[in-house]
Structure 1
Amino acid sequence: MGETISITLAPDTLRAVRESVEAGEYASVDALLDEAVHALQRQRREDAERLDDIRARIRRSLDDPRPPLSIDEVEAHMEALFAQTRDERRRA
């Protein structure tokens, strides 16, 4: 059995919690909070993985013996990435 605690929620947060439970989205406040904590933990893991990936990419870039790109090459690459991201978001 879990431990009982007392928490203070902002009025809008409390309203959202109650509405979700009353709408049947969750069986109880406990179930909602349990899922919220799991979502937070999952998000933190995913953030850590992304940060590790970014660090690895930076390390590979710093260790890359090839000459650096020109500013024009960088801008062209960035524009292509932005366009790809925009297109992916539109499809989502």
Structure 2
Amino acid sequence: MVNINVVLTDELKQFVDKDIREGGYASASEYVGDLVRQRRRIKAEDLLRQLIAEGLASGAPAPLPPGHFQKLLERASNLK
């Protein structure tokens, strides 16, 4: 684990302290860790939305050639 020092205004510190109590967190470290995990999840969801939008904008679907997925599986297993 790594320690990080964070400087907050008094107002933000009061907000964090209240959120820790109300959220049932054991410590500020647990609270901040949860915030980071939430942000990571949001970024992953944003990327997924972007990829879905790109896929929808890419045009009509076309049938894949026979054995396409089997070839992908073989390529993936060779990467190990």
TM-score, normalization by structure 2: 0.63
Structure 1: runs of 5 or more not aligned: 65-92
Map of 1:70-89 to 2, 5 A cutoff?
none
Structure 2: runs of 5 or more not aligned: 62-80
2:47 partner SS: helix
Q: Which amino acid aligns with 1:54?
A: A
Question: How large is the RMSD of aligned CA atoms in angstroms?
Answer: 2.1
Does residue 52 (structure 1) correspond to residue 51 (structure 2)? The answer is yes
Q: Which has the higher helix share?
A: 1
Cα deviation per residue 1:59-84 (whole Å; 9 max; x = unaligned)?
12xx58xxxxxxxxxxxxxxxxxxxx
Please report how far the alpha carbon of residue 15 of structure 1 lies from its aligned counterpart in structure 2 after TM superposition: 2.0
Please report how far the alpha carbon of residue 11 of structure 1 lies from its aligned counterpart in structure 2 after TM superposition: 4.1
Please report how far the alpha carbon of residue 24 of structure 1 lies from its aligned counterpart in structure 2 after TM superposition: 5.7
Return 3-12 or 24-33, whichever deviates more: 3-12
- 1:25–1:55 CA distance, 2 compared to 1 (3 A): same
Please report how far the alpha carbon of residue 7 of structure 1 lies from its aligned counterpart in structure 2 after TM superposition: 1.4
Whole-angstrom distance in 1 between the partners of 2:10 and 2:58 = 46
Report % sequence identity.
Answer: 20
Alignment length, in residue pairs?
61
Q: Which residue matches 2:12?
A: 13
2:5 partner SS: coil
Please report how far the alpha carbon of residue 39 of structure 1 lies from its aligned counterpart in structure 2 after TM superposition: 0.4
